[in-house]
Amino acid sequence: MNESPEHLALIRALRTCEGHAAVLREDLAEFAARTWQAADLEGLSTADRRLLDQFAFRFTRLQDLMGARLFPVVLRALGEEPSGMPALDRLARLEQIGWLPSADEWGTIRQIRNEFAHDYPETAEERLAKLTLAMDAARRALQILAVISTLSADRFGT
């Protein structure tokens, strides 16, 4: 493996993302182990509140890290200079070279993450709908991370 600063930064970024991803996978598995109803979100137990808080933190953190740190590091490792590129251009470039399935989809994941983190729906039904969207978006972010990890391993031996 090439031990250039760019490749070392890629390894560090992937490891950091994977740390959050591992806990996020556990959270999603715990959510999937039961059927959630809107009423479940009205009188949360301490354990359920902690699970929801941890999910929200890990999903938000993973999405932020991938967008702000991993994607630029991938471009640098591939010999591109992303520092002058707006975020949308970085996403478009990653899509163009096959490292991101869809720049638009990533934008949707970010929008869902922002709404989940910052909107406070009044009804339990609305909260359940937001939670369901966030879980789907988190699963997709994990799939995108897996693609990037595979491409990185194939290309750089990371």
**pLDDT tens per residue across span 68-102:** 999 999 999 999 999 889 999 999 999 999 999 99
Q: What is the pTM of this model?
A: 0.93
CA distances from residue 64 to 13, 123, 141, 157 in whole angstroms, order as listed = 12, 27, 11, 25
Structural domain that includes position 9: 5-156
pLDDT bin (cut points 50, 70, 90) of residue 34 is confident
Give the burial class of 34: count Cβ atoms within 10 A of its Cβ; 0-12 exposed, 13-18 middle, 19 or more buried.
Answer: exposed
Tell me, what's the pLDDT at 119? 83
Neighbours of 104 (CB within 10 A): 12
Residue 7 zone, left/alpha/beta (φ > 0; ψ -120 to 50; rest): alpha
What does the alpha-carbon distance between residue 26 and residue 64 come to, in Å, rounded to a whole number?
19
CB 73 within 8 A of CB 13: yes
pLDDT bin (cut points 50, 70, 90) of residue 53 is very high
Higher pLDDT, 117 or 99: 99
- CATH number (domain holding residue 79): 1.20.120
Mean pLDDT rounded to a whole number for the chain? 93
Domain count, the chain: 1
CB 49 within 8 A of CB 67: no
